[in-house]
Amino acid sequence: MRLSLFKGLLVAAAASVLMTGCATNRTFGGGVDDVTADINLRARLFDDGLYDYSDVDLTVYEGRVLLTGTMRTREGKRHLEDLATRSANVEEVMNEIIIGPKTPFNQGTSDALIDEKLGFALLADNGVYRANYQIAVSGGIVYILGVAQGPAELTRVTDHARNIRGVKKVVSHVLYVGDPRRQTRATSR
């Protein structure tokens, strides 16, 4: 069971690396680091067993990990953040986990539809570099992680999200191209 899960993660990681190679603001090496961070953290959660992580989503971009979804307890939420913080290739953790029951099936379906619609809208918008954004949707809340060329592009992205039916809120964890945190990361390699 663990071997097949690991193989599945490896295939997903390879596909992710291929897709990130086309990104405008992210290097191939940075994409590989992010895939490694994602695989390592998922393996830690799988091996941990202290809490139920089945309703947790991980999104990694430039060493920044976004945690979304739900956990039943505050202790579980803190433990998850601690595991993420101590994982290889993770430089920052944004913990957007909500304490509560698991996401109902119909809400999960609605979230997936919002994710698809937003992804398509960004891809169709010539004023947005789609490859520079990762999207997570949980409970009707859209979380955006990535790098914007500037305020105008970020506004376009968040406006696309706000205009999708079922979106309750948009949370941006987007940096701008010239953000010093990105420069520090790029020069530390």
* Every domain of the chain and the residues it spans: 2-93, 105-184
Percent residues over pLDDT 70 in the chain: 80
Residue 35 class from Cβ within 10 Å (0-12 exposed, 13-18 middle, 19+ buried)?
Answer: buried
Residue range 53-72: average pLDDT? 95
List, for residues 36-60, the tens digit of each pLDDT value. Answer: 889 999 999 999 989 999 999 999 9
List the beta bridge partners of residue 60.
65
Inform me whether the pLDDT recorded for 1 exceeds 50.
no
* Residue 133 neighbours by CB under 8 Å, 6+ apart: 122, 144, 145, 146, 147, 157, 174
Phi, psi dihedral angles at 32 (to 5 degrees): -65, -45
Residue 87 class from Cβ within 10 Å (0-12 exposed, 13-18 middle, 19+ buried)?
Answer: buried
How far is the C-alpha of 93 from the C-alpha of 144, rounded, in Å? 14
Q: Quick one: pLDDT at residue 16? A: 47
CATH number for 105-184: choose from 1.10.730, 3.30.1370, 3.30.1340, 2.40.160: 3.30.1340
How far is the C-alpha of 67 from the C-alpha of 73, rounded, in Å? 15
Residue range 149-176: average pLDDT? 97
Residue range 89-98: average pLDDT? 95
> How large is the angle between the packed helices 74-85 and 28-48, nearest 10 degrees?
140
User: Which is higher by pLDDT, 4 or 121?
Assistant: 121
pTM of the model: 0.81
Per-residue pLDDT band for 179 (boundaries 50, 70, 90) equals confident
